[in-house]
Amino acid sequence: MTFYGKPIKELEQLPSVPIVLNKILTAIDDNSVSNKEVAQIIGFDPILTAKVLSLANSALFGGRAQINEISAAVTRLGRSEIKNIAMTIYIANMISGLSLNSIKIDQFWKHSLATGFISRKLVSYLDSADKTSSYELENNLYIAGLLHDLGFVFWDMYMPLNFKKILETSIAENETIAFTEKKIQNTNYVEEGAKILRYWSLPTNIVSYIINYSNPEKAVQKYKTGAYILNAGTYISNLTGFKNVSNAEMIRHPENIMDIFTFKDYSEEDIKDLFDEFLGQSKLFIAFSEMIMSS
């Protein structure tokens, strides 16, 4: 498996996914695995253990009675939340140690958090006809949002001159970065980033949402709704001020991107109010995430 033509296993300083994280992601999605068994896996990672206990005892999750056991924390927080916490901690630690050239890491991180938060929230606004898989979507779209632009980061890290040239061409031609790169190189950071996610053995549905989010209409039916939601999540994240790149557009957004949601017929004023609500909630979520990371 390659990243821009170079074997991924030969990429210097490419982070690896901790064994504990992969075990947690697998165990949480397996209904035959008990909360006690999930807690035992978490216990192998002291940092994650401390963060989970801290969060479980916070006022946000009604931590009135002190919890000292991980199994009780898993029950209080819920398995999906545990998965999101684990991935957030890992990605935050990972990107903080990367040597980047053009990307502003704080801007990238806020965009990723906002996209994950908004994408997950959008599931509750799906038209009733699309709600059959809402649990699976809610369970995975936050993580997809966190990871959707990792290919962009590694592109800047490993090919900084190429990255800068494509970015400048994209701005000059008023085209999206993904489109410009695909036109020039017959690949783009979305496709290349998905290769690294597969190399890390991340869940197929998460990788499929990401590789299709820049062109959701081309996704196979099984992953189409998730890809559309992730596309919409990045769109709203950008509109509310959490852009990854200030002076360029990353991907295209279909004209009908809002048609799968119940707010498609809202007035312009109501849409603005809704997006303002997303903005406020995203700011609170980002602030809370940063507080958890620093505690």
DSSP per position, 213-271: TTSGGGS-HHHHHHHHHHHHHHHHHHHTT--SSTTS--S---TTTTTTBGGGG--HHHH
Examine the domain organization and report whether 83 and 105 are in the same domain: no
| Residue 3 included in any domain | no
Helix (H) or strand (E) holding 141: helix 134-147
Number of C-beta neighbours around residue 272 at 10 A: 12
- CATH number for position 253: 1.10.3210.10
Examine the domain organization and report whether 44 and 107 are in the same domain: no
Q: Which of 56, 82, 97 is the last residue of a domain?
A: 97
pLDDT truncated to tens, each residue of the chain (295 aa)?
A: 999 999 999 999 898 887 888 888 889 888 899 999 999 999 998 888 998 898 888 777 766 778 889 999 999 999 888 999 899 989 998 888 888 999 999 999 999 999 999 999 999 999 865 555 787 898 899 999 999 999 999 999 999 999 999 999 999 999 999 999 999 999 999 999 999 999 999 989 999 999 999 999 999 999 999 999 999 999 999 999 999 887 889 999 998 888 889 998 899 999 999 999 999 999 988 887 887 667 6
Helix (H) or strand (E) holding 2: strand 2-3
| Residue 222 included in any domain | yes
| Residue 179 included in any domain | yes
Q: Which of 97, 122, 146 is the last residue of a domain?
A: 97
Query: Distances in Å between the alpha carbon of 105 and those of 1, 92, 114, 203?
Result: 27, 10, 14, 25
Number of independent structural domains in the chain:
2
Query: Distances in Å between the alpha carbon of 102 and those of 105, 160, 187, 246?
Result: 9, 7, 20, 12
Beta bridge partners of 261: 126
**Coil, helix or strand at residue 202:** coil
Examine the domain organization and report whether 177 and 59 are in the same domain: no
Q: How far apart are the first and last CA of the chain?
A: 38
| Residue 7 included in any domain | no
Domain coverage including residue 53: 12-97
Q: Which of 66, 97, 128 is the last residue of a domain?
A: 97
Examine the domain organization and report whether 71 and 109 are in the same domain: no
Q: Tell me how far apart the alpha carbons of residues 195 and 193 are, in angstroms, rounded to a whole number.
A: 5
Task: Record the pTM.
Answer: 0.91
Contact of 139 with 29, CB cutoff 8 Å:
yes
From the list 236, 226, 229, the residue with the least C-alpha distance to 203 is 226
| Residue 1 included in any domain | no
**Coil, helix or strand at residue 131:** helix
From the list 183, 186, 104, the residue with the least C-alpha distance to 149 is 104
